Each structure stands twice: as C-alpha cells, then as structure tokens.
Amino acid sequence: MTHAVPGRPRLGAVARKAGGHVVRGLVMIWVVATISFVIIREIPGNPVLGQYESLIQKGMSPEQAERATAVLYGFLPTGSLWEQYVGYMGSLLHLDLGRSLSTPGVEVTTLIGHAARWTVLPVLAGTLLSFLLGVTMGVYAAIKRSGKLGDMLALSGSLLHGVPVYVIGLLLTAIFATLWPIMPSGGPVDVEFVPGFNAGYIGSLVHHAVLPVVTYTLASYGGWILAMKSNVVAVLGDDFILAAELRGLRRGFVFRYLARNAILPLFTILALSIGMLFGGSIFIEQIFNYPGLGLLLVDSISSRDYALMGGTFLVITVGIVVANIAADLLYTAIDPRVRSGGAA
C-alpha cells in the first residue's frame, strides 16, 4: 500500500475522479442526443418530412416550408444527414432545443423550464420526506424486529411498497378531495391569487402541493423502510458493533456506528432517485393535473410534438447522468474504502 497521508481524503484523487466522471457524462449525453436525433428521423412517417410536406400542401413554397420546418426543429430537414446532424449538435451546444409544435413558436427550453419548476420542488420534497421517514422507521423496525411494533412497521413498508403509485394517488384524491374535501383535487395553484411572493399565493401553492407530495412520499416510503431495515439488521450482525459494545462504548456511539454504516448504501439510491425526478412522475402529475415534466412528456407524445419530446428526453438524460456522477462522488466523499481506491 502506498499512500501519502493515510486516512485523509486526497483532494487530487477526488478531483481526478470527478474529471473522469464529467467526461464520461458528456459522452453519455452526446450518445443519447445522437440516438434521439436518429430516432426522430427514423420514426415511421418521418415527422420532419411530414411537417415539411404538410406545409407545402398548405400552400407554402418549398423554400418557405423548409425555413419554417428548420425553425420548428432547430435543424434543416433537407440536406445530407451529416449536415443536419452538425446543425442539430451546433444548436444543442447553444442550448437551443428547437421550437414546440403544439405551442407554436415557443422555445422548447422555455416550456421545459416552466414545467421543471412544478416537478422538481414537489418531487424533491416527497423524496426527502420519504427518505427521512423510511430510514428512521427502518432503524426502528430493525431494532424492534422481534416485537409487535417492528413487525407492524415492516408490514406497512411491504404493503405500501406493493401498492402502485397511481392507486395511492387516486385513493388520496378520493378521500381528501371528494369524500372529505379539505384538499384541492388538482392543479398547481388557485387562479384567484396574484403570482408572487405573497401569503395567499404561497399558501395556495403549498395547499395544492400537499397531496402530490404525500402521494410521492407514501409511494417510495415502503422501499426505504425495507432497505434500511435489512441494512441495519446486517450491520447489527457485524463484529464491530459487538466489539464496540465490548469496549464499553456509550450507546450513542454504538448507534452512530450502526446508523452510519447502514445508511451509506442508501445515499447512492437517494442520489439516483433525485436524478429520476427530472422525468417527473407521470402518474402523479396526471392524477393531480400538475403541469410538470411528466405531464409535458405525455402531452408532447400525444400531440406528436417531436422537438419537445426530444428535448424532454434530453433533459431527463442529463438529470440522470448528473445524479449518477453525484452519487459516485458522494460515495467517494463519505466512504473511506472507496476514497482510497478500494484496497479492501
């Protein structure tokens, strides 16, 4: 073993690792962009050509139709495939994803930016809430696993884990918006409030976000509690916990040894699931009519808005790639075994 300063995070190594990740991430994004470029051209009925031809049928001259299509898609529908590809990549570099068809003239990036607001915050809140809740309950379920309460907690986790997210969402709407209407049934905010930083608007935002956030929390809570429970049980069986007890360590220290070792693998999953939230939760956003990325994707597919579709896919890809990098770097930062290059 050779290490300059044993035990200390070696910043050079971490930076090198991060650099490698970024390069790999960029390659990944480029590959996905290329694939979606090709797919949009290979989809039966070639939407680009279809657009072009329908514009001609509407009475445009070929030059006009070509320009109009180019504006819509961000690249020339004619010319060699290579020219089109270079054009597409060039505009990508300028973060230009083209213009939407279904909302004519509006840039795809603008639409995605608007939708992202309605997705990122609620789903982030739901993810973190269910993570905290599930991990805490998981520890409890593991420690009390031979008792009734532990059994109940584990059972609640298994049951919730098995219920599809749309069933939870529909049940919650049925109960809290129809049967006992204390919550709005959908939409992101009441229209009567002036958007801005005022109590009424923000209150309405929060009020509308409650059910989607609770749905998301309940949907992933089961997974967290089960994962944490099994991790805690596994670490409890490790010798270093018994060794810590036999050295007379305070319960607080032993608990911290236990919790930190058990929660470590879950951080990767957490980072990944935060990446997935860029895809939005299609079911939740449909049930609650929440204008997020998931709903945007569904709408773009049903209206055959290929530019928007491609753009949304690309944003989801970037989100997941970034989350993957974050998860790996996070692991490097918190696990000394990974940090030193996996000597063990």
State the residues that interact with another protein by CB under 8 A: 1, 3, 5-8, 238-240, 242-250, 253, 257, 260-261, 264, 334-337, 340, 343-344
- Closest CB 324 distance from another protein, rounded Å: 23
Which residues sit opposite 214 in a β-bridge? Answer: none
| Residue 97 and residue 311 in contact, taking contact as beta carbons nearer than 8 Å | yes
- Closest CB 342 distance from another protein, rounded Å: 8
| Residue 185 and residue 157 in contact, taking contact as beta carbons nearer than 8 Å | no
CA torsion 241-242-248-254 (nearest 10°) is 20
Query: Of 201 and 255, which CB lies nearer to another protein in the complex structure?
Result: 255
- Closest CB 240 distance from another protein, rounded Å: 5
The residue behind tokens 């599930």 is 134
Query: Of 49 and 243, which CB lies nearer to another protein in the complex structure?
Result: 243
Residue 96 is inside which H or E element, if any?
none
Distance of CA 21 to the CA centre of its chain: 19
Q: Hey, what are 218's tokens? A: 């309940």
CA atoms within 13 A on the CB side of 91: 22
Query: Of 125 and 233, which CB lies nearer to another protein in the complex structure?
Result: 233
| Residue 73 and residue 101 in contact, taking contact as beta carbons nearer than 8 Å | no
CA distance 40 to 162: 36
- Closest CB 150 distance from another protein, rounded Å: 15
- Closest CB 340 distance from another protein, rounded Å: 7
Q: What angle (nearest 5°) sits at the alpha carbon of residue 296, between those of residues 293 and 301?
A: 130
Query: Of 58 and 256, which CB lies nearer to another protein in the complex structure?
Result: 256
Query: Of 38 and 243, which CB lies nearer to another protein in the complex structure?
Result: 243
Q: What is the DSSP letter of 99?
A: B
Query: Of 254 and 276, which CB lies nearer to another protein in the complex structure?
Result: 254
- Closest CB 274 distance from another protein, rounded Å: 23
Alpha carbon separation from 23 to 19, 105, 164, 311 (Å, rounded): 6, 34, 37, 21
Phi, psi of 192 (to 5 degrees): -70, -15
Query: Of 30 and 253, which CB lies nearer to another protein in the complex structure?
Result: 253
- Closest CB 181 distance from another protein, rounded Å: 49
User: What distance, in Å, lies between the first and last C-alpha atoms of the chain?
Assistant: 11
Q: Is 5 helix (H, G, I), strand (E, B) or coil?
A: coil
- Closest CB 251 distance from another protein, rounded Å: 8
Q: Hey, what are 199's tokens? A: 């109590």
Query: Of 140 and 257, which CB lies nearer to another protein in the complex structure?
Result: 257
Q: Is 194 helix (H, G, I), strand (E, B) or coil?
A: coil
Nearest residue to 8 via CA among 343, 342, 333: 333
Query: Of 5 and 191, which CB lies nearer to another protein in the complex structure?
Result: 5
- Closest CB 270 distance from another protein, rounded Å: 17
